[in-house]
Structure 1
């Protein structure tokens, strides 16, 4: 354990469950530090730098002329494996971060020395991207999400504030269903925003039923009491109710704000982008446009009332939900300044609106697209497409874009491509035929979000440019409860054939030879990284899915064990009528929901036999767009594969997760890339690479920058989870000038 200027570390325990470590003799010193100048330029006081979502820092000590001199100032090793997607807060010289198991840590931001640790008592492995921080200048509260809970912590000590909610926490599932929520998954992945004495929150939800209602809610920062709720799936009499089937609000879930929000503090408007409604890829039970799924909402932050909205995808069946908080920016048109909100998308679009009324600042065309031929599916006849700026990711995969990395890879890609349907955006999936999704399910833009320079109105977007495919297949009756569970809950990620799309979605073939039943059960109940948890899969249902994974498709009629036979027999009547009968699970209000006739065949990344994207580069880019005009200033590949670069194939770009930061020093700082494990700084005017440094693990997070005692730092959370073939571990790495 590290000992530094904060003194010795002691451990305290509350009720045998809540653990923290701190130095009580320095509590007053730390408390004074965190109360001082929380919103000054020296700090990084909110997720992504500020509640306006612009990822901007006014610091100039590190600039174009000297950024090449950056050196590692300190490293904090979490001594854990897993993923880190955290954009840490830095306030009053203290850095607040997570570990991969969702412990909250406070570090001396100048040295990386540990000040305190808060352990919620049960390890979690879901992404945790940041914190919310409230202060009135006298008292302060650090809000941290872990498991299904929102915790209120004392920033000076890490101890829960016992007057908040249930002894320092609230279970965010409460109030989102009329029934039992204990078996339903929810994760506070992205932090809420603070407005006055409220914290406004969303959450991550499952991609299939059962899923909780995606309500956006505000809670009192002192007590945890609910202050207001906005129903993203409207109730009778509410705006948008007619865009769903009657009573859909009783049985349909998600349409949740998982990506985070931005706030116009002066106007009191919170901007909340929402996700898709379940299930993601087949919507026979939600005919209509499905407001407010896939919608940018402008809400009155005082009351939660809708001011305006824009739906990005009508009746989404492609998982094209908004991936990140929007960025607030002021643009100039015909000599007038217009306060605007810019929203990036997985499709590669940027939508720009007047912040006050939602009026588009670039033309948007409701473009006609072909209808679905899948029985039961009714797609929207049109989808909104902005005319400017041009997309920052490619939109249509054609045969001349297939990989030329090797003749063998090209020939393989040609044969595969002949079996696909590839017609561009918003093409409905077919049954038993793969349709190209390009850019893929991971964007275009992803959860890291863009950076905006408020002085120039230029937006900086890092994007993925890799093709995936998707399709539908009919649900099969008679396979037993294990097969039924796998179809409805697992096949979306791991595929109907259980082959997955490694490394993001591992193959489950022979998984019983790699993992014990206990290990598989732990993954099912607690999830890991991109995999949600399934706490409701217990007893005979758990036995059935374990037996299915051991036996494989089609084998559930073979006796695996007495308990598996009982589970299968008990479900046989339900499974035999799976096409038309009620599901075993209930909707979010306790009402039965109809079993879908088709399910998604699984996320399939279009990779060649060697594991590289089966299309020509760039596979990832960094883009600079002038939002005043809609024109590109520059566009460059971001990232590379070291082994390909060593063979002369450089500048390919690669998948990237985590956003950029832009500073008044004229630099754009971004890590994000998976395979080269680098953090980079570019000239914000030209895109010229000014500096790069290799990290111990991939920096799949957004950096933060801050100043202490006259020295500016840049810090990044790094981890190995995205690349299982690379180094494994997790650390925070800070850089500064010599």
Structure 2
């Protein structure tokens, strides 16, 4: 074998590595030039030059390659520490690949061919130092937890504070938020921080309702079942109701409304297929109540369906069922149902129906409706309608486009088209005689140039209605002239709150922008101060922006994004995210939509969405799950919409906004790898002391096990969709994270106490109850979420303590 041949083969590995570094360097250089022209960091341009030259030197078998690469790695480490400090997940895209390549270059097979016989190993020492420094930086970052707040609640109760929600048996869960107050607080204490790790599956039931071939992308199992009347009541995405035995999960009865459009081709045009819950009404509860004068109530107990389940269906009906048998209550409406299409005008299939359970009071069942966003300016009204709980007769209607006239509409009239709607859950205070409505805005979401003063008045805020008449008692707006889809998605929470001025009846409204507004629920006056803060200006032609937006002193709003917050698995997707960031308009929260493209952060996914919050009225804390995901929007002139292709879903393709001068492309701000462009964590659990409005603790929550190409359970803090639950023992539960787990936490310090692996995503709010056996159960629906890409299924799973 010739010496020249052996030398040639020994140089093969450095040459191959050199080609790789040259290509990497040229790609980084090209991206770096573009980023620098946008006013971004010069690092990528300089690093690209360094990597490309290192590649050339390796191909030429020059030992100077080691020293030059050492300079690139050392400089990158210093730059990374200057930008993000000891933040492990921020350091990964900046240093991990360069660190690994540095180790490769120090291996004898790569290094020796560069060192001529008798020559000093110049560059080896420098590269070794650079690799050690980068490794030490990674090691040191393991002891740092940016964004987390460590704390400990030092009380089990606040003197004099009790649960003032409507009374029910401790072991029941008879409303979506357990009570009509939407507190999601259970007085059960059998499961404790000390024994919760002994939870095991008690039973699993499968509904059989799985997404079909013609279903919309957002087919979701967002249901929180009820436990009342000795049964569990579950609803499915296709509006079926199933009554189960709470101890065994055995099916007692099932009702299938036979949706008029089920399996039809026009299902494909729908935005959602969702049932968040059903509602229970029991005449006997009201018949046993004392009147304000102290005498027994004269409310009659119905002989037909004295206990009712109210079901909103995806084909726009409100159905009353006998809670004992599942048969339709013939005395309600038209043989058990009310047609909600009445008086709202035309709409495409799926464009209007109620995805959330109605509210019930002594005499009324009250319902709102989902209106598909960004399709046109001629969509159904967001009217709220109250029907007699027994007969189904319309008692009053509140249309935010005509808010003063609540007299039942005439048969030949139509409610105000396109008025703001309420698609989420009501809260009810029957003692005060009020309903609390978390309001959305008027579609289209990102253009408001054609909105009327009437439609603006009640949009994106909280409106309190008189139960008996539907008249407005008070209202408070949380986003002025909403151009960001900042619907108030969560159910308002009612509780008595201890303040410096005494105990006050409060309503807490969690919002997408991260503020939690705390108001006196009898008057609407702020309990926690709200400040009008200046926001960016400059809407598209034909629109305007509000000069200020209201911000509560109680908030979990994130700091504004910066270029250095852009993230990726590698330097290259991070670079692309930086270019994307610098290419769009972003001036902080409430940056107006633009033709250039604007970043929306927090995005319309929301810091808090329909999951709302849970409160412990005895400890006077809130247990919450904030999420942080940036979105981007780009306005498209109406004349250019057709060329963009058809709308695919509410977050894919151009949203046409027919009738408006602009359509919009609205989507999450993602890297080419499909991961968020902003750095983790993207999801947390937290507790707030409601007596001081201070965050007690906040910890990142959830892993990427079920959302990354490699199912490694790395704890990064992932978004969650669904709500929290808290109990008297101090154990809280959450299931809505993107990974498939039900988790339990100590609400005093946020420590994760237990997790149960689920067979599908559980973008729901769990609940807890007592079975006939006297045991406390925790129940969750795991059916997945089409839009979030979590695994879909049809599971109802109950857990209890092992014997």
| Superposition TM-score, scaled by structure 2 size | 0.69
Q: Does 1:92 align with 2:229?
A: yes
Cα drift, residue 332 of structure 1 = 1.4
Specify the alignment match of 2:85 in structure 1: none
- State the structure with bigger RCO (CA 8 A, min sep 6), 1 or 2: 1
Give the distance between the partners of 1:345 and 1:235, measured in 2 at CA.
Answer: 23
Specify the alignment match of 1:234 in structure 2: 402
Does the 8 A contact of 2:761 with 2:792 survive in 1? no
Q: Does 1:101 align with 2:248?
A: no
Does the 8 A contact of 2:685 with 2:701 survive in 1? yes
Q: Does 1:471 align with 2:637?
A: no
Structure 1 segment 88-167 matched on structure 2, within 5 A: 88-122=225-259, 123=262, 126-137=273-284, 139-147=306-314, 148-167=316-335
Give the distance between the partners of 2:204 and 2:452, measured in 1 at CA.
Answer: 52
How many residue pairs end up in the alignment?
586
2:572 match: secondary structure: helix
Does the 8 A contact of 1:61 with 1:712 survive in 2? yes
Does the 8 A contact of 2:398 with 2:405 survive in 1? no
Give the distance between the partners of 1:58 and 1:492, measured in 2 at CA.
Answer: 39
Q: Does 1:57 align with 2:225?
A: no
Cα drift, residue 265 of structure 1 = 2.1
| Superposition TM-score, scaled by structure 1 size | 0.75
Give the distance between the partners of 1:628 and 1:636, measured in 2 at CA.
Answer: 21
Distance 1:173 1:38, change over 3 A: farther
Q: Does 1:259 align with 2:424?
A: yes
Structure 1 segment 73-92 matched on structure 2, within 5 A: 73-82=202-211, 83-92=220-229
Specify the alignment match of 2:535 in structure 1: 369
Cα drift, residue 726 of structure 1 = 5.7
Distance 1:222 1:625, change over 3 A: same
1:460 match: secondary structure: strand
Distance 1:68 1:305, change over 3 A: same
Q: Does 1:452 align with 2:589?
A: no
Q: Rg larger in 1 or in 2?
A: 2
Cα drift, residue 600 of structure 1 = 1.0
2:457 match: secondary structure: coil
Distance 1:103 1:649, change over 3 A: closer
Q: Does 1:651 align with 2:715?
A: yes
Structure 1: 5+ residue stretches without partners? 1-36, 239-248, 499-577, 584-594
Counting helix residues as a fraction of each chain, which structure ranks higher?
2
Does the 8 A contact of 1:352 with 1:361 survive in 2? yes
Distance 1:443 1:223, change over 3 A: same
Specify the alignment match of 2:673 in structure 1: 610
Structure 1 segment 256-655 matched on structure 2, within 5 A: 256-286=421-451, 288=453, 290-334=456-500, 336-386=502-552, 388-389=553-554, 391-403=555-567, 405-431=569-595, 433-476=596-639, 493-496=651-654, 595-601=659-665, 603-642=666-705, 650-655=714-719
Specify the alignment match of 2:740 in structure 1: 677
1:77-125 C-alpha deviation (Å, 9 max, x unpaired): 1233242110001113311112232211111111011111111112386
Give the distance between the partners of 2:222 and 2:614, measured in 1 at CA.
Answer: 17
Q: Does 1:173 align with 2:341?
A: yes
User: Which one is further off, 724-733 or 77-86?
Assistant: 724-733
Does the 8 A contact of 2:567 with 2:574 survive in 1? yes
1:176-197 C-alpha deviation (Å, 9 max, x unpaired): 34xx568672121111111111
1:102-155 C-alpha deviation (Å, 9 max, x unpaired): 211111111011111111112386110011111122521110111211100011
Give the distance between the partners of 1:371 and 1:392, measured in 2 at CA.
Answer: 23
Cα drift, residue 62 of structure 1 = 0.8
Give the distance between the partners of 2:205 and 2:255, measured in 1 at CA.
Answer: 16
1:196 corresponds to which of 347, 362, 374: 362
User: Which one is further off, 636-645 or 188-197?
Assistant: 636-645
Specify the alignment match of 1:699 in structure 2: 762
Q: Does 1:225 align with 2:393?
A: yes
Give the distance between the partners of 1:47 and 1:90, measured in 2 at CA.
Answer: 10
Specify the alignment match of 1:43 in structure 2: 172
1:635 match: secondary structure: strand
Cα drift, residue 334 of structure 1 = 2.2
1:323 match: secondary structure: coil
RMSD (CA atoms): 2.6
Give the distance between the partners of 1:702 and 1:624, measured in 2 at CA.
Answer: 17
Distance 1:698 1:254, change over 3 A: farther
1:150 match: secondary structure: strand
Cα drift, residue 236 of structure 1 = 7.9
Cα drift, residue 646 of structure 1 = 7.5
Does the 8 A contact of 1:397 with 1:436 survive in 2? no
